[in-house]
C-alpha cells in the first residue's frame, strides 16, 4: 500500500530535478532579464498568447503520456514517462509565473 512518506520523498526528488532542468533550459531559451522571452514569441508572431502557447505544449506532453502509459507505445525519442511528467510540472510553474506577471501579482 502506498504511503504518504513515499509520495513526499518522490515529490522532493522531482522538485529538485525539475528546478535543475528549468534552470538549464532557461539559459537556452530565454534571458536573465526575461525568463519568459521565448514563450512570448507566440504573441510577437500574432499566433497566440504566451499562456495559450504553454497550454499547447502541455497538451502535447499529455498526448505523449497517453501514448507511453496507456497505449504503451515505445518512445522514438529519449524522453521517458518521468521526463514528460517533469516537463508538464515545469510548464505549470511557467504558466503560473506568466499569470502572476500579467496580473501584476508578486511572486510568492
CA atoms within 13 A on the CB side of 45: 10
Give domain status of residue 94, yes or no: yes
Give domain status of residue 12, yes or no: yes
Give domain status of residue 20, yes or no: yes
Give domain status of residue 86, yes or no: yes
Give domain status of residue 74, yes or no: yes
Give domain status of residue 54, yes or no: yes
Range of the domain at 20: 4-102
Give domain status of residue 107, yes or no: no
Per the structure, the count of domains in the chain is 1
- pLDDT tens by residue, the chain, 108 residues: 889 999 999 999 999 999 999 999 888 888 888 888 888 888 999 999 999 999 999 999 999 999 888 887 777 778 889 999 999 999 999 999 999 988 987 766
Give domain status of residue 108, yes or no: no
Q: Residue 107 is placed in which grid cell? A: 511572486
DSSP state, 47?
A: S
In this prediction the pTM is 0.85
Amino acid at each position: 500500500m502506498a504511503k504518504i512518506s513515499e509520495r513526499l520523498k518522490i515529490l522532493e526528488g522531482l522538485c529538485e530535478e525539475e528546478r535543475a532542468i528549468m534552470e538549464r533550459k532557461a539559459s537556452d531559451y530565454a534571458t536573465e532579464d526575461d525568463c519568459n522571452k521565448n514563450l512570448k514569441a507566440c504573441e510577437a508572431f500574432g499566433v497566440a498568447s504566451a499562456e495559450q502557447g504553454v497550454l499547447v505544449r502541455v497538451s502535447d506532453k499529455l498526448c505523449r503520456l497517453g501514448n507511453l502509459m496507456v497505449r504503451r507505445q515505445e518512445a522514438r525519442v529519449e524522453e521517458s514517462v518521468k521526463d514528460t511528467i517533469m516537463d508538464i510540472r515545469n510548464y505549470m510553474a511557467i504558466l503560473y509565473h506568466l499569470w502572476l506577471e500579467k496580473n501584476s501579482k508578486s511572486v510568492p
